[in-house]
Structure 1
Amino acid sequence: MANRARYAVASVTGALVVLGTLASCGTGDGTAGASPQPPASAGRTAGDSPPRTATSPDGTVVSPSGTAASPSDRAPTAPGRTDRPGTRCRTAELSAAVGRMDPGAGQRNFPVVLTNVSSRTCTVYGYPGAAFVDAAGEQLGRDPERTAGDATTVTLAPGESAWSGLRYASPGVSGARTATPATLLVTPPDERQPLEVPWRSGPVPVSGNASSVFLTVLQPGSGP
């Protein structure tokens, strides 16, 4: 009987030790705690960036899944603009030409005309780019300067045109050094690819006194 009593006491003591061990692994309120969860950033290595969005050519922000973002995520347009990025005329949708010279007061004035040759209505805003180049494609003279003016959005239906005034002092009057360009490169507003227009109006000032060339903002029509 004594041996059985000692065995029972030992069994009860062992059970109490096991319960005590389990209690030390619990949470602060005495209940058994679940394994700690990894933080939300787990699985990302140091230096990882959040998912990025892309921007389509017309200014629409596109998510990684390929869907367009909300209007508030669209790329902003230039201050004061009223057109949407998707309506802008692209270089491939336009042709360029130089109109007849209009001389006056020691100046040579030309309309630089952009015409919508596409099947959709598009818009131009502001100033075109322009550069005289020789037969080797090297620029002659400095970039044209912009004449102050109020830019407005010009809407071009298929076949319609907008023009910008290009002017410079007559070299015979100003005494500027001249060169005869092969081509006038005309770049539509907000575009990078220029249109090539053969230059047939003789020498232009490239350096020296009064050698600056000036451009005006685009306006509807094909010239004054």
Structure 2
Amino acid sequence: MRLIAAAALVAALPMAACESSSPAPSASMITRPAVATTPHTPIPGPSVPAASVPGATTPATTGPPAETPPPGAPYCAATDLALSMESAGGAAGSIYAPVDFTNISARTCTLFGYPGVSLAAGDPPLSIGPGGEQITGGEPLPVILGPGAVAHATVRYTQAGKYDCERAPAEYLLVYPPNQTVPVTLPFDVDACVQPPIALLHAEYVKPGTVN
């Protein structure tokens, strides 16, 4: 019996040695249960305009508040009109620029009230500084424009050099026909006051015919 027990003990020793020589599992060999994750969607940043303009804001999309429509012909839409600027004149640190509105449509339409105006720069044009203000005095009257007829509104620009402000170069004048929300872009190389923001533009109400 002692011989049988000794033989069994000798036979067990190689197996124990084999088990004790096996390496311990490394961290890379351990399988962990999978953890569910939520896909990450990057938050898009703000779009950058093609041309960076100091002091620029988002493109202007609205003009002055709509007036009560007068009786008669409907309002002239922006697509009914061709806008142009007459020769500008200066006096006492200001530039006076009459803007003409020509009815290029085949229908009769009405202009009534004040145009909206703003300085702009860049591509697409971005508004610079505050929008223009109204030159009050007198009573606006409806201007009936038949096909090919012209009306005008004078825009006054006060030179930025008269003010202690940070300036930015403007390239355009954005003009909103009265009671319209789509602007027309006209070349206008001046400076805007962006800090502090100072309104340098003032517009008269629309009148029949041209100035010059």
Alignment TM-score, normalising by the size of structure 2: 0.60
User: Match for 1:90 among 48, 64, 77?
Assistant: 77
- Amino acid aligned to 2:100: V
Using the alignment, how far apart are the partners of 1:207 and 1:223 within structure 2? Answer: 34
Displacement of 1:209: 8.4
What is the identity, as a one-letter code, of the residue corresponding to 1:83? Answer: P
State the alpha-carbon separation in 2 of the partners of residues 88 and 209 from structure 1.
32
**Residue by residue, what CA displacement relative to the aligned partner does 1:181-200 show, whole Å, maximum 9, x if unpaired?**
2322211111111212222x
Q: 1:66 matched to which residue of 2?
A: none
Equivalent position of 1:212 in the other structure: 200
Partner of 2:127: 139
State the one-letter code of the partner of 2:107: R
- 1:108-163 CA deviation, whole Å, 9 max, x = no partner? 11112211111122110001111222114321010111111311001112222111
1:107 to 71, 77, 94: 94
Map 1:1-224 onto structure 2 (within 5 A). 78=67, 82-84=70-72, 87-136=74-123, 137-149=125-137, 150-199=139-188, 201-208=189-196, 211-223=199-211
- Choose between structure 1 and 2 for higher RCO, CA contacts under 8 A separated by at least 6 residues: 2
- Please report the RMSD computed on the Cα atoms of aligned residues, expressed in angstroms: 2.4
Distance across 2 between alignment mates of 1:102 and 1:205? 21
The runs of 5 or more residues in structure 2 that have no matched partner are: 1-65
Letter of the aligned partner of 2:91 in structure 1?
Answer: G
Deviations along 1:47-92, one digit per CA (max 9) or x if unpaired, are xxxxxxxxxxxxxxxxxxxxxxxxxxxxxx945x5334x5211111
Equivalent position amino acid for 1:182 in 2:
E
**Residue pair 2:76, 2:111 contacting (<8 A) in 1 also:** yes
Amino acid in structure 1 at the alignment position of 2:83: A
Q: Find the aligned partners of 2:93 and 2:119 in 1 and give their Cα distance.
A: 20
Q: Distance in 2 between matches of 1:127 and 1:103?
A: 22
- The amino acid that maps onto 2:71 is D
Identity of aligned residues (%): 27
For 2:195 and 2:91, the matched residues in 1 are separated by 21
Instruction: Give the count of matched residue pairs.
Output: 145
